[in-house]
Amino acid sequence: MVSKNLNPQQLEAVKKINGPVMIIAGPGSGKTRVITERIAFLLESGIDPKHILALTFTNKAANEMKQRVFKLTNSEQSFRLWMGTFHSVFAKILRIEGYRLNYSENFSIYDNDDSIKIIRRIVKDFNLDKDDYNPRFLYSKISILKNRLIDWKKYSMSNEFLENDKIRKQERFLDIYKQYSEFCFKSNSMDFDDLLINTHKLFKYHTDTCEKYQNIFKYIMIDEYQDTNLVQDSIVQQLSDKHKNICIVGDDSQSIYSFRGANINNILRFKSVFKETTEFKLEQNYRSTKNIVNVANNLIKNNFQKIDKTIFSNNEMGEQVDIIEYYNDREEGQKTAETINSIRPSLNNLNQVAILYRNNSQSKAFEDALRKFGISYKIFGGLSFYQRKEIKDIIAYFRLILNNNDEESLLRIINYPSRGIGSTTVQKLRDFAKKNDETIWKILSHNLDKININSGVKNKLLEFRNILKKLFEMHNDNVFNIAQSLENEIGIIKKLSLDENDENLNKLQNISELFNSLKLFSLKEYNNSLKDFINEISLDETKDKNEISNKVNLMTIHQSKGLEFSHVFVTGLENGIFPSARSVKNKSGLEEERRLLYVAITRASKKIKISYCQNRFQFGTIQSTEKSMFLEELKDCTNYIYKNEYLEQRAVNNIYKQKKSINNNKRMTFMPTSLKKVKYTNYRDIRGLNKGMKINHNIFGAGSILSVDENHGNEKITVLFENFGKKILLTKFAKFEIIK
DNA sequence: CGGTAGAATATTTTT
DNA sequence: TATTCTACCG
């Protein structure tokens, strides 16, 4: 039954299930609720869940939605919905249909790091100057082109593009683009953008396949439509062309992903593409106080490009929004922590507090200060577990096992751990491979004789080949067994254990965590093959984000999208940082930064403090800054707090002195940076676990213990989780706490 | 070929 | 500052 707590517009939007629908939903207007209720309503109306496709942008959003639909309908049906990110749903389709584009089902998925590495290698091969051809820049250029459906062939046909490259002294760009695309294809691999453009290609050139999916996805819903790019928009049109039951939800004022090719015009012109569109506007903000909504409105009205709407709140006025000036970033951290400390007693949970910043590097000052006050915090972003070097190395072996032609993975591990195959040899292999249009693996497996190398090197290559052969044969084995065999063959753990410095210990810890999760994965009842494992981790990095914790949240504003906190600190409002230096070069960039600030402000329900610093420690030096131009726009509706500069400076100098002495004392024992980002596993040997006990697991949440199995030292428990069903955990490794 | 030390370089946001 | 790259020596 559809919930009765919806307001009239929300209810109407939920019930209009046929034909194109556009829901413009302001921040805090109950957007997610409308989507979940709508899905529930579809199910109630007797529509088979397999005909419903719900797309989101982040895994976090997808997971949350899944759980909410499940709670709402309380039915197993909800698990049969097609729900996920664009990338994950399309990857699933491409695994099945990719053969039509000459990919095999085991294609690898390259992440940004892989892509940049490949491009860097190509630039080197071409003997080009790294300054003129910055791999990062090239990658983002390629990515944006792909998202605009311009492949290298199309690019080569545009005189305008080629002329431009000449002027910019990047005449070889086309060659690089081509080489990169061919490298990926030859490796039977797709980068993130390929997942989209190949889906588009598939539907465009194989109309029967397109029709097949049109008939599967009879009802399509897309969240955050303002963040779609051209490919995504095009695929959505392909899929909905037949039944036209498409519902998009979004807020143009929260479009903040243009760097990824998101085009705000997709939502602005939706109505003209789908002529019969019914439009709903959700303008009431249920989240924030009147003051906060007022400030947000005052900010966003400075943007030119937007859909007309009036966000209002019927909540209480609330406190004024503060804008605070600090002497430097250290003080900003200090005072923010101090404020949090002082309001701590009035909060029932610290997770109601968020410190938001423009880029990840700003987190440091806050971390230091919070630690000093003994306030626990949770930091989002930074390196995800699967991006760590030692983990990626092992994953590279796994990827190679599944996809023997994955050239990037092979090049990554051909001499890791070092086995006497140096760069000269690798270069010979690569040259030969290129000449014969083959992958290195193919040469290793049957063409080694044709390469001019001495017998010592050849033996080493043969040894390497034999290791791979052995591993390749295992591709269907239990994942944990594969991992163990891998360790037997390459002995990476053994090697790291020989020299137990901090860095190696940290690596070992991460690797053992990987092995633990492989063990757990292998214990699943189904979908527990290596293929499933790699699939899961290539696109999902939200592993441990939904733990319920009494911790302050530190994150970038991008990461905060869709979330809500009672107290929000928006920090670093300085020109060059927020708005970022790059964005001010053009008007649309600046408007996007303004939307970003809009998103930040509208995260808060009760209280916001916006701050900036006169000086900031950046690039290893102290630099004086200029306060953000956005603050000028908020002058009349906020409460400005200036500082007495002289006093502050003295205080700040003291802070720096302190800091210095700490540094000197601890220099030797300073944690390596990689260690700081680690989430510690509590290796515990929990005794006294009993049937019926309630526990809270860091990933699966709450559940109760069904049985305990002593299993000589490897104690296992079977737990029924409220949201994830039955799981077997090894208590030695699992991270959880006993609730009662 | 492998390891290391010291130089060079980079800093937006994410799937 | 933090990370990645390069040059050099064993």
Q: Can you spell out the DSSP letters for A100-141?
A: GGT--TT-EEE-HHHHHHHHHHHHHHTT--TTTS-HHHHHHH
Q: Please give the single-letter amino acid code of residue A76.
A: E
CA of A586, C1' of C2: distance in angstroms:
30
Which nucleotide is closest, CA of A580 to its C1'?
B12
Q: Tell me the whole-structure pTM to 2 decimals.
A: 0.83
The Cα–Cα gap between A548 and A699 comes to 10
pLDDT of residue A673: 27
Tell me the pLDDT band of A661, cut-offs 50, 70 and 90: very low
Lowest-confidence range among A20-29, A452-461, A690-699? A690-699
Nearest residue to C1, CA vs C1'?
A620
CA of A416, C1' of C8: distance in angstroms:
22
Structure token pair of residue A674: 């990689």
CA of A63, C1' of B15: distance in angstroms:
15
The Cα–Cα gap between A193 and A182 comes to 14
pLDDT, one tens digit per residue, over A197-225 is: 999 999 999 999 999 999 999 999 999 99
**pLDDT, average across residues A534-546:** 67
Q: Percent of chain A at pLDDT above 90? A: 48
Instruction: Find and list the nucleotides of strand B having atoms within 7 Å of a protein beta carbon.
Output: 1-3, 9-15
CB-contacts to strand C (7 A): A 120, 130, 364, 619-620, 673-674
Which nucleotide is closest, CA of A143 to its C1'?
B15
Tell me the pLDDT band of A647, cut-offs 50, 70 and 90: low
**pLDDT, average across residues A142-149:** 92
Nearest residue to B3, CA vs C1'?
A418
pLDDT of residue A643: 65
Which nucleotide is closest, CA of A619 to its C1'?
C1
Q: Are A13 and A22 in contact (CB under 8 A)?
A: no
pLDDT of residue A617: 85
Which nucleotide is closest, CA of A84 to its C1'?
B15
CA of A729, C1' of B6: distance in angstroms:
47
Instruction: Find and list the nucleotides of strand C having atoms within 7 Å of a protein beta carbon.
Output: 1-3, 5-6
Mean pLDDT across chain A:
84
**pLDDT, average across residues A248-276:** 89
CA angle centred on A656, ends A652 and A659, rounded to 5°: 135
Structure token pair of residue A503: 């860095």
Q: Can you spell out the DSSP letters for A506-534?
A: HHHHHHHHHHHHHHHHHTSSSS-SHHHHH
Checking if the pLDDT of A503 tops 80, the result is no
pLDDT, one tens digit per residue, over A514-525 is: 898 899 999 988
Checking if the pLDDT of A408 tops 70, the result is yes
pLDDT, one tens digit per residue, over A674-730 is: 222 222 222 233 346 777 777 776 556 677 777 776 544 445 677 776 655 666 666
Tell me the catalytic residues of A.
Answer: 31-32, 223-224, 254, 603
pLDDT of residue A671: 27
CA of A418, C1' of B1: distance in angstroms:
9
CA of A130, C1' of C6: distance in angstroms:
14
pLDDT of residue A621: 79
Which nucleotide is closest, CA of A56 to its C1'?
B15
pLDDT of residue A686: 37
